[in-house]
Structure 1
Amino acid sequence: MKSLLKNAREQKGLKTRELAQLAGIDQALISKFESGTRKPTKDQVTKLSQLLEIDYETLMVGWLKEKILYEIGDDEFALKALKVAEDEIKYNKTVSNLKLSTSLEKILKEIDSLKEKLDSHRQFDSFKIKQALELEYTFESNRIEGNTLTLRETDMVINEGLTISGKSMREHLEAINHQEAIGFIKELMNKSNSLNERDVLSIHNLILRGIIPEDAGRYRKVQVMIQGSSHMPPQPLMLQQEMEEYFIWYEINKNKLHTVILAAEMHERLVTIHPFIDGNGRTSRLIMNLILMQKGYPIANIKGDYENRMQYYQSLEIAQTKKDKEDFFLFIAQREKESLERYISILTQ
């Protein structure tokens, strides 16, 4: 930047004294700016850009570059720190640009009101209620993925240890595994509102345990296509970086967004990355509900019937291909509102 300032001043035919007078900056400081022994402030950069007719962006980039290099120098962690800083700046910008529609703001306010009402009736809560709702969640989440066990059969497999005639071993394992995964995220609830790679891989490991053991808790090593969707997940070589950015985004935004929006975002982002060969949907929904439960919200249970499943997939498709998450946010918010209303009705009947 120092040579840029000096060259621009000389091209304008100005002496350092004359530039100092025009800018209202001490002449000695102008000389130090040009020699690189002193850094101008942001306001001074703006003034010099205008007076010397230097492109503001060019000058600001040069100024920030020198400022960064001055601060971090050649520290051994400099490049890694810059990468993390780049991600934080990028994702902070994403959050600042997130504009909620009137419809979404309205339903979030309704959710906040229902959450307050639920909290005021917590003394009537019981283990039996939670157990029944968790069973329904396992049934519906598996039904979305094509599992044909009924709610009663799911109960018999999980709570009575029975084998259902005509149903595959995979369907039995999907029920048992999902219920164990719910138990695991309930353990994670007691941690601070954190989420890391180990947690996600552990959840996925439980989902696929005994079904595809070689892929349980491991990122896929092959490219995949999502049946019925035009979205193409990232190549396997990109998964580690994509997942690192996923957790960075969470750390940056976990205290900035409404819990329902944060949970929906983490669901959509994970299923869009599609890091696993199978079990992405169930894992993403469990992550979403972990975030909700950590903040005292009930499980957002997406029904597995045709109408709800199609609405769910269509809103995801729009988010993935058109980068418009409004429909998906509204869909998840509506499911959470329904869960709150039902929970309150159970506690107050």
Structure 2
Amino acid sequence: MKSLLKNAREQKGLKTRELAQLTGIDQALISKFESGTRKPTKDQVTKLSQLLEIDYETLMVVWLKEKILYEIGDNEFALKALLLVEQEIQKNKKEIDFAILSSNQIILDEIEALKNQLQSFNHFELRQISKTLELEFIFKSIHSNGNSLTLEETKSVINEGTTISGKNMQEHLEAINFQEITTYIKDLSQKKTGLSEKEFLSIHNLIFKGIKFENAGKYKNDPLVSREMNLLFNWYETHKNNLNPIILASEIYLKILDINPFEKGNLQIANIIMNWILLQNNYIYSVAQNDKNRPNEYFSALDEYQIKNDKSVFINYILKIEKENLINAIQLNAK
């Protein structure tokens, strides 16, 4: 680690004093990091990785390696202990995933039965239901971003091209853009297109089509973001066939919010990608937002995840929305 830090600092042409000012880390500490007499904290590793443009994963792996070596040294039982640690980590991960699946198995089975009931409707019935659900998705998506168009006004804008008096142009464009996005992700779903950077950036660009925002379709200027997004796409590829699609979609939503890859539009794209995955697996739209029917439940679920690192509460929240939406979709056919 000491060589990585020193070489990176010198390549950037920075003195230890200058790096200290940029990071807020004491100059004496930085010198000790580079001499190997002190180890940085995890937060300090993150700051140094960003400012010195060192690959975060590389630096974290080296940091963890040195931390482990410091603890176990050359103890004769070290290798056996490390093997047990690896097994324990893998076991814990599987147990967490299994616990989430098991605790939600009843509602997952109910959702599956409702989905099958919905899919049993004829083509005409499904098309009419789909139109209603798409309109609701567009309305809820723009409403969660502060758009003041009502449901009926949103319908008029996207179906008839109406200009609503008293509403600004951006509000109209947001509705039109989300209509285009629903068509786009529906097409991707039918083609079974997998989640990739190309589609991810294209969707973000569509959110701001015609709206003045020069960074549409572009990540933040932060090397960590690109690295974290690549890890997300790799995680998706690894888990897309072995995780329940609703759990997969919920976790993708949380991961996007964690990374916060764009200057604007992170909440919208998290919702869009989650719903793309749901549609691809024959589920229906589930917009995560603060709902008047369950005040603060959305933020409570997010807080539980962010404070306690417990994703199960948020996943359960999405499962409840999906179940309710499926019931409502089925009832649409009876009207």
- In structure 2, the partner of 1:121 is 121
Alignment of 1:315-326 (within 5 A): 315-326=301-312
Matched residue count? 257
- Other-structure match for 2:249: 263
How far apart, in 1, do the equivalents of 2:90 and 2:184 lie?
29
- The answer to whether structure 1 residue 275 and structure 2 residue 257 are counterparts is no
Tell me by how many angstroms 1:101 deviates. Answer: 6.9
Q: Cα 1:188–1:273, aligned 2, differ >3 Å: closer, same or farther? A: same
Cα deviations by residue, 1:231-271 (Å, 9 ceiling, x for unpaired): xxxxx331011101111111111111111111111111112
The CA distance in 2 between the partners of 1:334 and 1:165, in whole Å, is 37
Following superposition, the deviation at residue 131 of structure 1 comes to 1.6
Determine if contact 2:240/2:248 at 8 Å carries over to the other structure.
yes
* Contact 1:319/1:325, CA 8 A, preserved across alignment: yes
TM-score by length of 2: 0.70
Residues 302, 308 of structure 1: 8 Å contact kept: no
**CA RMSD after TM alignment:** 2.7
Q: Distance in 2 between matches of 1:206 and 1:262?
A: 24
Distance 1:211 1:313, change over 3 A: farther
Unaligned runs of 5+ in 1: 1-52, 63-85, 222-235
Q: Does 1:58 align with 2:94?
A: no
Shift in Å, 1:213: 3.5
Structure 2 alignment gaps of length 5 or more: 1-74
1:109: how far off? Answer: 1.6
Question: Any conservation in 2 of the 1:193–1:291 contact (CA below 8 Å)?
Answer: no
CA pair 94-188 structure 1, distance change in 2 beyond 3 A = farther
Deviates more, 1:306-315 or 1:252-261: 306-315
Partners of 2:131 and 2:193 in 1: CA distance: 23
Distance 1:140 1:91 in 2: 39
Aligned-partner SS, 2:285 = coil
Larger deviation: 203-212 or 176-185? 203-212
How far apart are 1:127 and its partner, in Å? 2.7
Residues 303 and 238 of structure 1: is their aligned pair in 2 closer, same or farther, counting only changes over 3 Å? closer
Structure 1 CA distance for aligned equivalents of residues 163 and 124 of structure 2:
35
Supply the AA of the counterpart residue of 1:152: E
Q: Is the 8 A contact 2:290 2:299 kept in 1?
A: no
Q: What does residue range 245-260 of structure 1 map to in structure 2 within 5 Å? A: 245-260=231-246
Aligned amino acid, residue 246 of structure 2: V
Mapping for residues 215-234 of structure 1, pairs under 5 Å: 215-221=215-221
1:176-325 aligned within 5 A: 176-192=176-192, 194-221=194-221, 236-302=222-288, 305-306=291-292, 308=294, 310-325=296-311
Aligned partners of 2:317 and 2:287: how far apart in 1? 11
Match of 1:346 in 2: 332
Greater RCO structure (CA 8 Å; 6+ sep)? 1
Deviations 1:10-33 (A, max 9, x none): xxxxxxxxxxxxxxxxxxxxxxxx
Q: Distance in 1 between matches of 2:269 and 2:295?
A: 16
Distance, in Å, in 2 between the alignment partners of 1:330 and 1:243 is 25
Paired position in structure 1 for 2:313 = 327
- Tell me the amino acid that sits aligned with residue 196 of structure 1: S
Give the 3-state SS of the residue equivalent to 2:215 in structure 1. coil
Q: Which residue of 1 aligns with 2:136?
A: 136
- How far apart, CA to CA, are the structure 2 residues paired with 1:148 and 1:313? 21
Q: What amino acid does structure 1 have at the position aligned with 2:186?
A: K
**Per-residue deviation at 1:187?**
1.2
Match of 2:173 in 1: 173
Point out the structure with max Rg over C-alpha: 1
Residue equivalent to 1:72? none
Q: Which amino acid aligns with 2:79?
A: T
Larger CA deviation: 208-217 vs 133-142: 208-217
Q: TM-score, normalised by structure 1?
A: 0.67
Residue 133 of structure 1, CA deviation: 1.4
Deviations 1:145-199 (A, max 9, x none): 2111100111111111121122122211111111111111011112335210111
Question: In structure 2, what residue type is equivalent to 1:282?
Answer: Q
Q: Secondary structure at the match of 1:100?
A: helix
Q: Is the 8 A contact 1:215 1:277 kept in 2?
A: yes
